[in-house]
Amino acid sequence: MGDPGGLGVSAESADSAGLAIETHGLTKRFRSQLAVDGLDLAVPHGAVFGFLGPNGSGKTTTIRMLLGLVAATAGEARVLGAGMPRHVDSVLPRVGALVEGPAFSPYLSGAANLARFDAADRWAPSRTRAARVADALEQVGLAHVAQKKVHAYSLGMKQRLGLANALLMPRELLVLDEPTNGLDPQGTREVRSLIRSLARDGTTVFVSSHLLAEVEQVCSHVGVMSAGRLVAQGTLDEFRDAGEARALVRTPDADAARRVLQGLGMHVDGSISAGRVADDGGVSRPADASADVVVTATLETTPPEAVVAALVADGVRVRGFEVERASLEQRFVELTGEGFDVVQ
Amino acid sequence: MSSSEGERGPEGLETSSSATRPAVSSATRSADGPGPQAARPSKLGGILSLLASELRTLFRRRRTWAMLGALALIPILIAVAIRIAGDSPSGRGPAFLDRITQNGLFVGVTAIIVAIPLFLPLTIGVVAGDSIAGEASHGTLRYLLIAPAGRIRLLVVKYLAAAAFCAAATLTVVVVGTLIGWALFPIGPVTLLSGTEVSVGEGLLRFLMIAAYVTVSLLGLSAIGLFLSTLTTVPVGSMAATAIVAVVAQILGALPQLEWLHPWLFTRYWLDFADLLREPPVWDSFADNAVLQAGYIVVFGLLAAARFVTKDVLS
Ligand SMILES: Nc1ncnc2c1ncn2[C@@H]1O[C@H](COP(=O)(O)OP(=O)(O)O)[C@@H](O)[C@H]1O
Ligand SMILES: [Mg+2]
């Protein structure tokens, strides 16, 4: 698994004044299981931070610790500059959140539910409550069902109501845990556009997802969780570039090629026999010459031209050379392991 | 996702967001978050606003009205049964039962004596036992806490709401009892236990004092229910446990072998309100009861707070 520091985020995290969320060694253990393991998150102010990871990788548990719902086993968390959970009272009024799906009292209407949560916020003026509830409902397209009891809402409607709850007051930070769960494609697009418009106004958005595609288009930063550990974090560009570049050498002299590549300090991780006689347009060749092999090796920092030059200099018959960079999605699978719920 | 087709408004998030956001912001900017410049809202104001919302929620709930309705049925059943079947032989049945045919005002007191051992504790168990566990089971607890309601503040508000329900429950029995007694039986001056006769108005006042006494009696049980409610995310468990605690305490109180334990049982003074029907009223048992209940409130309130403040909210 990769090393978070390897993504060049360290320079940024040094400036902790600019961080909306900052954790050091944040850890949560449930009995024997480490749900979150030594997390060092750094979410800059104004960022849209995609918090990615497969189901059960510890995203929700992390968010619960950030919001003071759960006490960390070890480590510390700072949100909007103040330590949590000690400063929940002064920090949380500036934070809107959706945690592990929406939750409402089913016997109350959508508007009544929002008013209830709003009344629990001492900083929310009761004078403007009704107007703010109506605005928030309008904003998520639920104005027409405001007076309907929540038990009659569909999953998607509840998700929208959950978003409305996070938007009742102007917030400095929005923490959205899988906000598009249960939404149709149109709803998913709407959420993305909402996130964009909030980010434009300067709100920091921390959005978790198990789907890369869902957040890729709106994020400025990403952090990737795998089995409780933060395996990568940084700007989306850093993340993209950090994908391992690999050299693919097509040659009949596989052994010689391997030697040369290893000599350059590259890690040879495979060779696949490629090309059969018939594949080359039926041209008959000596048996050894036709047995092309594609040798793959991690490129690391070696410039590709230097690799080719070294191969040629050693008399390796290079019949094809390619540098392959992992797509964002492959990078993701690489970090989180197989069985990942990848984009359909 | 075809099912969700009909649920979307004429305008989606996308279009409406840009239209309404500025309005939201400008409406509240002046009173926004706890920045250094914002004045800190008062703690009391916060509690009152949350309490108002909690009471509205509690008394808007169909379950609450169903329970109050069931409690109202007790005096109604008693009154109707006596009306139909006639007077009962003196000395049998609940206290005051034999007085009803002469004075309908006694229906309320009779009904509350019937309701005290089981019906009232059951409904208190539902409300107090549900207070935190119910929010946890709906998942609304996490949203209240990140609002942020404040854990202690939420406990205090939940307790006050349960206490309000205790008052509503006993008042329901007494008031409905008085009304139905008024409707079905002759009404007249009330003969007190000391033999003195007082006016209808004075009699009604005494019955309200009994309602207050019973309300106070139930406050200790409410605190127990609140505590039990912080232990679980399954509300049925804490509701049943609260009701069971009430029944067990009464059983223990009836066993002479456990004499040493009796002074400590919260049910000890539950039926000792007869002193309020003397002339002048004797307040000793009211005071003893209040002190005992206060002790339970303190102990179980502290237990609930200790448990809830450190509790991981994982529901
Ligand atoms: N209440 C709990 N008790 C025990 N283990 C839990 C609890 N909640 C979560 N976990 C475990 O912690 C891990 C992380 O869960 P979670 O944070 O919900 O993951 P995610 O949100 O990324 O899907 C999972 O392996 C899960 O089984
Ligand atoms: Mg989750």
Which CATH number covers residue A264? 3.30.70
Beta-carbon separation of A139 and B16 below 8 A:
yes
Interval B202-219: pLDDT, tens: 889 999 999 999 999 999
Query: How far apart are the CA of A100 and the centre of ligand 1, in A?
Result: 11
Q: Domain for residue A288, yes or no?
A: yes
The edge-to-edge listing of strands for the beta sheet with A173-177 is A95-98, A173-177, A204-209, A48-52, A221-226, A229-235
Q: Looking at the structure, tell me whether residues A185 and A263 fall in a common domain.
A: no
**Which of B143, B153, B158 is the best substitution to test chain A (most A C-beta atoms within 10 A)?**
B143
Q: Domain for residue A68, yes or no?
A: yes
Residues in chain B: 315
Contacts of B57 in chain A (CB under 8 A): 105, 108, 112, 116
Q: Domain for residue B25, yes or no?
A: no
pLDDT band at A14 (very low <50, low <70, confident <90, very high): very low
Q: Looking at the structure, tell me whether residues A96 and A216 fall in a common domain.
A: yes
pLDDT band at A305 (very low <50, low <70, confident <90, very high): confident
Q: Looking at the structure, tell me whether residues A169 and A235 fall in a common domain.
A: yes
Q: Domain for residue A154, yes or no?
A: yes
Which residue puts its alpha carbon closest to atom 20 of ligand 1?
A56
Q: Domain for residue B285, yes or no?
A: yes
Question: Distance between CA B159 and CA B130 in Å, rounded?
Answer: 11
pLDDT value of position A191: 87
Q: Mutation test of ligand 1: which of A26, A28, A60, A69 has the most ligand atoms closer than 8 Å to its C-beta?
A: A60
Q: Looking at the structure, tell me whether residues A266 and A141 fall in a common domain.
A: no
pLDDT band at B21 (very low <50, low <70, confident <90, very high): very low
Question: Distance between CA B241 and CA B231 in Å, rounded?
Answer: 11
Q: Domain for residue B149, yes or no?
A: yes
Nearest chain B Cα to A173, which residue? Answer: B33
Beta-carbon separation of B143 and A167 below 8 A:
no
Nearest chain B Cα to A115, which residue? Answer: B53
Q: Looking at the structure, tell me whether residues A273 and A230 fall in a common domain.
A: no
Question: Distance between CA A304 and CA A301 in Å, rounded?
Answer: 9
Arithmetic mean of pLDDT, A37-45: 93
Q: Domain for residue B15, yes or no?
A: no
Q: Domain for residue B92, yes or no?
A: yes
Nearest chain A Cα to B148, which residue? Answer: A121
Is any ligand 1 atom within 6 A of the Cβ of residue A56? yes
Is any ligand 1 atom within 6 A of the Cβ of residue B314? yes
Q: Looking at the structure, tell me whether residues A84 and A184 fall in a common domain.
A: yes
Nearest chain B Cα to A160, which residue? Answer: B13
pLDDT band at B57 (very low <50, low <70, confident <90, very high): very high
The closest alpha carbon to B246, from B227, B232, B272, B225, belongs to B225
Which residue puts its alpha carbon closest to atom 25 of ligand 1?
A56
Beta-carbon separation of A122 and B46 below 8 A:
yes
Which residue puts its alpha carbon closest to atom 4 of ligand 1?
A30
Q: Looking at the structure, tell me whether residues A213 and A113 fall in a common domain.
A: yes
Interval B175-196: pLDDT, tens: 999 999 999 988 888 888 878 8
Q: Which domain holds residue A257?
A: 246-324
Q: Domain for residue A344, yes or no?
A: no
Q: Which domain holds residue B290?
A: 43-309
Q: Domain for residue B35, yes or no?
A: no
Helix (H) / strand (E) containing A206: strand A204-209
Beta-carbon separation of A103 and B57 below 8 A:
no
Is any ligand 1 atom within 6 A of the Cβ of residue A33? yes
CB atoms within 5 A of ion ligand 2 belong to A 60
Beta-carbon separation of A144 and B9 below 8 A:
yes
- Using the structure block, give the residue that is written with the tokens 């303190």: B298
Which residue puts its alpha carbon closest to atom 16 of ligand 1?
A58
CB B129 within 8 A of CB B228: yes
Interval A203-249: pLDDT, tens: 999 999 988 877 788 899 999 998 899 988 888 888 777 666 778 88
pLDDT value of position A8: 38
| B66 reaches A (C-beta below 8 A) | no
pLDDT at A22 over 70: yes
Question: Distance between CA A291 and CA A160 in Å, rounded?
Answer: 59
Q: Domain for residue A335, yes or no?
A: no
CB A104 within 8 A of CB B58: no
Is any ligand 1 atom within 6 A of the Cβ of residue A180? no
Beta-carbon separation of A170 and B38 below 8 A:
no
| B309 reaches A (C-beta below 8 A) | no
Q: Domain for residue A272, yes or no?
A: yes
Q: Domain for residue A317, yes or no?
A: yes
Residue A148 gets the label, from left (phi > 0), alpha (psi -120 to 50) or beta, of beta
Query: Which residue, A224, A241, A258, sits at the end of a domain?
Result: A241
Query: How far apart are the CA of A34 and the centre of ligand 1, in A?
Result: 9
Beta-carbon separation of A68 and B146 below 8 A:
yes
User: Could you say which of A88, A117, A194 has the minimum Cβ distance to residue B17?
Assistant: A194
pLDDT value of position B293: 95
Q: Domain for residue A60, yes or no?
A: yes
Q: Looking at the structure, tell me whether residues A118 and A132 fall in a common domain.
A: yes
pLDDT band at A316 (very low <50, low <70, confident <90, very high): confident
| B146 reaches A (C-beta below 8 A) | yes
Q: Looking at the structure, tell me whether residues A230 and A282 fall in a common domain.
A: no
Runs of H (alpha helix) within A14-154 = 59-66, 88-91, 110-119, 129-139
Q: What is the pLDDT of chain B when averaged over all its residues? A: 84
User: Could you say which of A64, A128, A167 has the minimum Cβ distance to residue B27?
Assistant: A128
Q: Mutation test of ligand 1: which of A52, A61, A224, A336 has the most ligand atoms closer than 8 Å to its C-beta?
A: A61
Domain count, chain B: 1
DSSP letters, B117-166, are: TTHHHHHHHHHHHHTTHHHHHHTHHHHHHHTT--HHHHHHHHHHHHHHHH
Beta-carbon separation of B33 and A93 below 8 A:
yes
Nearest chain A Cα to B62, which residue? Answer: A107
Contacts of A199 in chain B (CB under 8 A): none
Which residue puts its alpha carbon closest to atom 24 of ligand 1?
A56
Query: Which residue, A241, A269, A298, sits at the end of a domain?
Result: A241
Interval B265-278: pLDDT, tens: 999 999 888 888 88
pLDDT at A142 over 70: yes
Query: How far apart are the CA of A83 and the centre of ligand 1, in A?
Result: 23
Q: Domain for residue B300, yes or no?
A: yes
Query: Which residue, A211, A241, A271, sits at the end of a domain?
Result: A241
Q: Domain for residue B1, yes or no?
A: no
CB A243 within 8 A of CB A224: no
Q: Mutation test of ligand 1: which of A30, A73, A229 has the most ligand atoms closer than 8 Å to its C-beta?
A: A30
- What is the signed CA dihedral for A265, A267, A272, A273, rounded to 10 degrees? 20
Q: Looking at the structure, tell me whether residues A96 and A164 fall in a common domain.
A: yes
Top-confidence range, A28-32, A208-212, A238-242, B159-163: B159-163
CB A95 within 8 A of CB A174: yes
| B9 reaches A (C-beta below 8 A) | yes
**Which of B13, B64, B311 is the best substitution to test chain A (most A C-beta atoms within 10 A)?**
B13
Question: Distance between CA B292 and CA A21 in Å, rounded?
Answer: 48
Q: A318 Cβ partners below 8 Å, 6+ apart?
A: A249, A250, A251, A257, A308, A311, A312
pLDDT value of position B40: 61
Q: Looking at the structure, tell me whether residues A60 and A159 fall in a common domain.
A: yes
Residue A16 gets the label, from left (phi > 0), alpha (psi -120 to 50) or beta, of alpha
Domain count, chain A: 2
CATH classification at residue A82: 3.40.50.300
